[in-house]
Chain A
Amino acid sequence: MITAAFANQIINLFAAVMLLLAFAMLAQRRVLSLIDLFAMQGLVLTLSTGFVAYTTGQTHLWFSAGITFALKVVLLPWILYRLIRQLDVKWDVEGLINIPTTMLIGIVLVILSFNVALPISQIAGTITKGTLGIALASVLLAFLMMITRSKAVPQVIGFLAMENGLFFAATAATYGMPMVVELGIALDVLVGVVILGVFFFQIRERFDSLDIRHLEKLKEE
């Protein structure tokens, strides 16, 4: 059995890696690397969930870790890889805002997240409570990433990264959601990605590109 303090340090380490990965995704230009980073984030999430399950003895967290692994480390990256290959969209992405600026905004977001999460963490009874701020930060950073990307695939990856952040938050704050809910969320995410995959093809068919800047026809004159 490991001590609580040690466990805490480990979890904080995972959290730090999460945050690092979130920043890395924010800065990454290549789609394939983006998918790798996403898969790594999934892996860290799995490990951290597993670790929490191990230290706290919350059995359902094992399942949660399993689902996360299956879904976010294996299935989704695989689907995305396939999509990229079929769609042949490996090229670099140009951000709408340049990367240093994005990073600066990201730092501000982290500060804000910590600030917001602080009172909540004080309430949470979990050993992971300190990481809540980081979870929120990853959510917001993923959000920022969605804003700055101009291609459809990275945007979806951002969306999935946000989901990761949420899972991390759930683990951090409450040792995960009840099983039914987690399953439901996972199902939604999976179906969502499938639908999006279908969409990619259709969008490409219609617009000859996955650049979402083509999707600006519906607006007010």
Chain B
Amino acid sequence: MISWSGVVAQVTELALAVLLAPLLTGWVNQCRAWLQNKSGPGLLRPYRTIRKLFAKDAVIATNASAVFRTAPYVVFACMLVAAAIVPTLATDLPFSIAADAIALVGIFALARVFISLAAMDVGTAFGSLGARREMMIGFLAEPALLMVLFTASLISQSTSLATTVERLARMEFAIFPSLAFAGVAFTMVSLAENARIPVDNPATHLELTMIHEAMVLEYSARHLALIEWAASLKLFVYSCIGISIFFPFGISQGGDPLGFAYALPALVFKLAVGGALLAVIETVSAKMRIFRAPEFLGTAFMLAVLALLIHALLET
């Protein structure tokens, strides 16, 4: 079952994800700066930030418990596992049979719960506020994401992401209206999940609107570095999910080293385009009031359910 090429693909992919994730974040920020007529911090700024944070002394609130200190590691680990499941370069991933799409959503939820608990641990007003908001986003985004993945699963008759992507990639070209709906829903969910405008603004510390930042206010140094890195990783993984489900072309199927070589540039290209698109979305839309977020996500959820319904109605 477990082929050597699979193992190679798995390791490569994981390494790629960990290493490339900050770059993607940097690329998005850079694009956004360009679109907004700014010069931008440079593509490698996230790497520098992480390195800087790793070099600092950590300050931990007096009241913080072990939950606070372990959370960054757990969150980062969760993102690693998630990255290991999502096929980016190849579909022949040995680890992917251990966790399917539902488990992926579960792992994201685990990370979210941990970061929220950590936010509440210090016992500040902002921490718990952030945790509450994050969980609010979560309980709407999570089922929406699940429904998006279900749509793909129903088309491909599998909840295993690798299999899904493989089958979607292999399929004769066909128009799946359900996938179109799911795509829109997925985009909306991704924006919310990755703390992007219009739901959250990763660059603000304005107390009335912040979500993700409010939770990580108390973190510093290595913990903050891990959290930032994990956030990049999350963006990367989400992008990859979108890419592999909706645009699976070019991904390497089976143990095909040649395909592998072909898949890497394809991935980079797709990520670059995706990142640019994200920057465009972030530039053209305005940050919503926090209580608009449930409506926004509710719409995403409805769209995802509609996608499922359309699939049940038209495509079976």
Query: In the complex, are there CB atoms of A and B closer than 8 Å?
Result: no
Task: List residues of A whose CB falls within 8 A of some B CB.
Answer: none
